[in-house]
Amino acid sequence: MSSIPRVSGSGGRHRKPKETSPSVRRAIVVAATAPIAATILSAPSAFAADGTGGTENVSRRLAAPSDSTDDGPAFVKSVRPGTPGRPGADATPAGPGSVDQSIVDALEARIDDPRLGTNLSGVVLDAASDEVIWDHDASTALMPASNAKLATATAALTVLGPDHRFTTDVVYADGALTLVGGADRTLTTGDLEALADTVAARLDRAGLTSVEVRVDDSLFPEPTLATGWRADYYPNEITPVRALVVDGHTVEDTALDAGKVFAGLLADRGVTVGGEVTRGTAGEDGTVLARHRSEALSTVVKQMLKVSDNNIAETLLRATALGAGRDATFEDGTAVVRDVLSGTYGVSVENFEMHDGSGLSRATRIPAQTLADILDLATEPRHRGVLGHVVAGLPVAGEEGGTLGPEWGRFDTPDSQCAVGEVRGKTGTLTGAVALSGITRGEDGRWKVFSFVENDSTASNDDIKDALDGLAASVNGCNT
């Protein structure tokens, strides 16, 4: 199989292409191709003549992607000298003009804010030229909190493809129905109701009135704690990571919980369910009676970023590892993230240490420069079809429903209110770590990419967030 060409001609001073690992190259080739047809099972079954999908292969749980259309805001990159074929409208990169100088002056004045403490990593880039406008210890690696989700999203979209969909199957064999988890963290009771409707009807046509119910969450290994996680994270901060969950329930065993919900729905439809719901593995000789497909990965990524969903992030990390031919573990998932960032896109992973997909790990360290480089990639037209969904998923300052909304107390101070509706950014908050990385238009009409990561301030997190919002408003130019 031929390798995917490396990213070239970025022109930025902060990215250096590196070799892509073979597993990631293979995964990206799969993500760029047409969907793979399911293998047909030949085992006889009471449902074989039904013609409603009973012969699908239950082993293929990570569906292949197709095309993507919703890419978020459009960006224009500069055509730079010596960079043939670079899309864009401007003939020269942005220089240190008056607007950029105003940003520098404002940020230099405001980083002495006592709320920010003394441990701040920050950078501002011009998105069109990739030039660094402002740098304050940008290569210093700090705890990024949920800004780590930017790396997780980038790897998932690249390896799996924006139109990848997660499947949940109901498989019948030997008097038992097995609910097979396929890493759909967005599965709802309504989705299970639709599966139960189909299954009950097919059982009735086959003359079967009694079944056992099992759950198969073997796509992922047994849950473990990531390096840097505390045991008390379970189940409120994050639930043990399993391949089957319904309605985002915060319980220790989300798979058995989902199976019990499904069994109850079958009983409501007149199917007798014998015994307790147990764990089991759906064999390939079973018959798929019903299948639910999730929304496209692009939509799932946007949901994860908008509300900073830790559970979606950890599920995507494992699915991405599987898509790259690796094991569904923290270690292999984060290794794939590194491979994608450095090998596929040429983002430096120097001083980059990542231990989970959500950013909950207190051992994770990522420089502001790396976070800004990740977002800068998403502004490039050549990456828009894949990574544009990262930008589209960023919460908008002052917009309800996202982590930059008024319900979170964001962009509601005199220093930042002027930037409501003008800034898109990914938030991050842990004890001792607050971060904000995003994009905004400067007063010159050019898109600016920024990242600010603060650690160890003695101020309250709310006060630190207000200070970071003010820095983002300074990049926008509305309070310079």
Report the relative pairing of strands 132-136 and 120-126 from DSSP bridges: antiparallel
Is 474 a residue whose pLDDT tops 60?
Answer: yes
- Do 169 and 59 form a contact (C-beta atoms < 8 A)? no
pLDDT number for residue 135? 97
Of all residues in the chain, what percent carry a pLDDT higher than 90? 78
State the pairing for strand pair 141-142/278-279: unpaired
- Whole-angstrom Cα Rg for the chain: 24
Distance CA 351, CA 346 (A): 15
pLDDT averaged over every residue in the chain:
85
Q: What is the pLDDT of residue 14?
A: 46
- In angstroms, the CA 271 to CA 263 distance is 9
Confidence class for position 201, pLDDT limits 50, 70, 90: very high
Alpha helices, DSSP H, located in 326-426: 330-339, 368-378, 384-393
DSSP codes, 158-222: HHH-TT--BEEEEEEETTEEEEE--S-TT--HHHHHHHHHHHHHHHHHTT--EEEEEEE-TTS-S
pTM summary value: 0.85
Please check the confidence at residue 32 and state whether its pLDDT lies above 90: no
CATH homologous superfamily of 166-294 equals D-Ala-D-Ala carboxypeptidase C, peptidase S13 (3.50.80.20)
Reported as a single tens digit per residue, the pLDDT across 436-452 is 999 999 999 999 999 99
11 has pLDDT over 80: no
CA-based nearest residue to 152, from 384, 383, 318? 318
Q: What's at 465, amino acid-wise? A: K
pLDDT at 115 over 70: yes
Q: Where are the domains of the chain?
A: 98-161+300-476, 166-294
Question: Cα–Cα distance between 311 and 300 in angstroms, integer?
Answer: 12
| pLDDT for 194 beyond 90 | yes
Least confident of 72-81, 127-136, 328-337: 72-81
CATH number of 98-161+300-476: 3.40.710.10
Tokens of 413: 């101070």
- The conformation of residue 116, written as its DSSP 8-state character, comes to G
- Residue 453, strand partner residues: 121, 435
d(C-alpha 183, C-alpha 216), whole Å: 11
Q: Using the predicted structure, report yes or no on whether residue 473 has a pLDDT greater than 90.
A: yes
For 76, other C-beta atoms within 10 Å of its C-beta total 16
Q: Identify the band that residue 74 occupies on the pLDDT scale cut at 50, 70 and 90.
A: low
Does the pLDDT at position 254 exceed 90? yes
Tell me the Ramachandran region of residue 292: left when phi exceeds 0, alpha when psi lies from -120 to 50, beta otherwise.
beta
Better pLDDT: 64 or 331: 331
Residue 321 has pLDDT above 70, yes or no: yes
The per-residue pLDDT for 328 is 98
Residue type, 45: S
Q: What's the rounded mean pLDDT across residues 179-190?
A: 98
Q: What is the pLDDT of residue 21?
A: 52
Is there a contact between 213 and 190 (Cβ–Cβ < 8 Å)?
no
Burial status of residue 267 (CB atoms within 10 A of its CB: 0-12, 13-18, 19 or more): middle
Whether 430 shows a pLDDT value over 80: the answer reads: yes
pLDDT for position 68:
33
Share above pLDDT 70 across residues of the chain, in percent, rounded to a whole number: 80
